Amino acid sequence: MGKLKIIVIALVALIGISSNAYAEVAFLQPDDFVGFTFWLVSIACLATTAFFFLEYGSVAPAWKVSIAVAGIVTGIAFIHSMYMRNIWVETGDSPTVYRYIDWLITMPLLSIEFYLILSTVRKVSSIIFWKFLISTLVMVLGGYAGEAGYISSFLGFVIWMVAWLYILYEIFAGEAGKLCAKSANIAMVKAFETMRMILTIGWAIYPLGYVFGYLTGGVDSNTLNVIYNFADFINKIAFGLVIWVAATANTIGSRR
C-alpha cells in the first residue's frame, strides 16, 4: 500500500513537471474561456486519476479492477486534454484527431465498466464483455471513418447511431440490464442505473454539440470545445465517481 502511494505521487509529479514544460511555451489568457475549460478539465482529470489510484488500495478486492479502469480513463483523458489545451492556447485550434484517439480508448473502457461492476457481485458471461467492447469500437471507428472522409459522414453517423442504440438496449433491456435488475446489491444497482443514464444523456451531448455546430453554419470550434470539455466531466469524472461510491459502500467493514 505504501509503495503504491509512492508510485502514484511520483507519477503525478512527473506528469505535472512534463505538462509544465509545455505550459512554458504559451500562457493562458484570462479571457480565453475555451482555454479555461481545457485547463479545468485536464487538472480535474489529473486529480481524479490520483484519487482513484490512491483509493485502489482501500476498496474491496472485487472492486479494484473497476476503480483501476476508472483511473485509467481519467488518466488518458488528462493526457489528451493537456495536449489539446496546449494546442488550443498556442494556435487557437483543436485537432479533432486527439479527441478521437481519446474516444477510441476511453469509450470501450467506459462501456466495459458495466460488465466489471456486474462481475463484482456475481459470475457474468464473458460474452457480455465482448459485446460492450466490440460495439463501442464499431461506434467510434464508424464515427471516425465518417469524420476522416473514408466513408460518407452520413454512413459514419448511422453506424455510430446503430451501435449506440445497441449498447443502450444491452444496458436497459438486454442481458446486462436483466442481470442488474436481478441483483440484490443496492449500491451496485444504483451505480449501474446512474451509469446508464450517463451513457444515455451524457453521451448524447457529443452528437448534439456536433449537430448544433453544423446547424449554426459550420462547426463553431469554440462552442464545440466547451461542450466537449463539459461532457468529459460527466462522462469520465462523474462516471468514475459513481463507481467509487458503490465500491466504497461495498467495502464498509474492511475499510480503515
Ligand X SMILES: *C/C=C(C)/C=C/C=C(C)/C=C/C1=C(C)CCCC1(C)C
Q: Which residues bind ligand X (CB under 6 A)?
A: 103, 106-107, 110, 139-140, 143, 156-157, 160, 203, 206-207, 210, 232, 235-236
Our CB check for ligand X shows the closer of 89 and 139 to be 139
Shortest reach from residue 75's CB to ligand X, in Å: 12
Our CB check for ligand X shows the closer of 179 and 199 to be 199
Shortest reach from residue 47's CB to ligand X, in Å: 17
Q: From CA 190, how far away is CA 106, in angstroms rounded?
A: 22
**Do residues 170 and 129 lie in contact, with contact meaning Cβ atoms separated by under 8 Å?**
no
Shortest reach from residue 241's CB to ligand X, in Å: 14
CA angle 1, 17, 244 (to 5 degrees): 40
Our CB check for ligand X shows the closer of 111 and 185 to be 111
Element housing 239 (H / E): helix 239-249
The three cell numbers locating residue 123: 459470475
Our CB check for ligand X shows the closer of 112 and 187 to be 112
* Residues 6+ positions from 142 with CB-CB distance below 8 Å: 151, 155, 156, 158, 159, 160, 163
The three cell numbers locating residue 130: 465482448
Which residue has its beta carbon closest to ligand X?
143
Shortest reach from residue 76's CB to ligand X, in Å: 9
Give Dmax over CA atoms of the chain in angstroms.
Answer: 57
**Do residues 123 and 179 lie in contact, with contact meaning Cβ atoms separated by under 8 Å?**
no
Shortest reach from residue 139's CB to ligand X, in Å: 6
Our CB check for ligand X shows the closer of 110 and 180 to be 110
